[in-house]
Amino acid sequence: MVLTPSPAHFQRYADKSKLAMLSDGEMLRSATVSQASIDGLLQGVPPTKRVNSDDAEHWWNERKQWFFKPVSGYGSKGAYRGDKVTKRVFEEIMQADYVAQRLALPGERKVCLTGSEPQKLKFDVRCYVYDGQFQLIAARLYQGQTTNFRTPGGGFGLVRLVD
């Protein structure tokens, strides 16, 4: 059996607390990362911070600007948009292992379904890579808070590379 990503790679790369490091310019400079790489990371990775219950009042006051994600979660499980989170769930987040990532609103595209009016769907673009090589570039089209494949007209969309 081949399991990809391997558990070791998943542990090494999928831990969302690493997003906090990748969005911290000072930490990257101290790790002697090239300025070009730092610039690219800061442009592409929204600011991300570890959540600490000692700062609960700060996070509650600032919650509308952040998206809360469990450090070891996947598939949007346990992820909450700050402006939608209830006080009860927020208190659970403060007691768990979470990061807060600056809210980055998705792009939108109009989709025309047969026999209906055009509708706006949100999208994000994903690059699937294996062994340093692109395998697939796809857009995911969806409605709601997180991506899903139940939205009529949603799912994977074509991405055309243009020079």
Query: Is pLDDT at 10 greater than 90 in this prediction?
Result: no
Q: Residue 121: name the closest of 133, 131, 113 by CA.
A: 113
**Percent of all residues in the chain with a pLDDT value above 90, rounded to a whole number:** 48
97 and 112 belong to one structural domain = no
19 and 47 belong to one structural domain = yes
Sorting pLDDT into bands at 50, 70 and 90, what band is 159? Answer: confident
Task: Choose between 97 and 147: higher pLDDT.
Answer: 97
85 and 126 belong to one structural domain = no
Amino acid at 99: V
30 and 83 belong to one structural domain = yes
61 and 115 belong to one structural domain = no
Q: Which of 102, 131, 146 is the last residue of a domain?
A: 102
37 and 84 belong to one structural domain = yes
Domain holding 118, by residue range, is 107-157
Q: What is the pLDDT of residue 68?
A: 96
Q: What is the pLDDT of residue 4?
A: 67
Query: For 87-145, how does the pLDDT look when each residue is reduced to its tens digit (9 = 90+)?
Result: 999 999 999 999 999 999 888 988 888 888 888 999 888 888 888 888 889 888 888 76
Q: What are the counts of helices (DSSP H) followed by strands (DSSP E) for the chain?
A: 6, 8
77 and 49 belong to one structural domain = yes
Query: Is pLDDT at 19 greater than 70 in this prediction?
Result: yes
17 and 75 belong to one structural domain = yes
Q: Residue 99: name the closest of 119, 139, 69 by CA.
A: 69
Q: What is the pLDDT of residue 57?
A: 96
114 and 95 belong to one structural domain = no
Please tell me the least confidently modeled range out of 10-14, 16-20, 48-52, 86-90: 10-14
95 and 111 belong to one structural domain = no
Task: Choose between 47 and 2: higher pLDDT.
Answer: 47
How many whole angstroms separate alpha carbon 99 and alpha carbon 71? 6
Is the residue at 162 inside a domain? Answer: no
98 and 115 belong to one structural domain = no
Q: Is the dihedral of CA 42, 47, 51, 55 positive or negative?
A: positive
What domain count does the chain have? 2
88 and 12 belong to one structural domain = yes
Query: Is pLDDT at 71 greater than 80 in this prediction?
Result: yes
* Contact (Cβ atoms closer than 8 angstroms) between residue 29 and residue 42: no
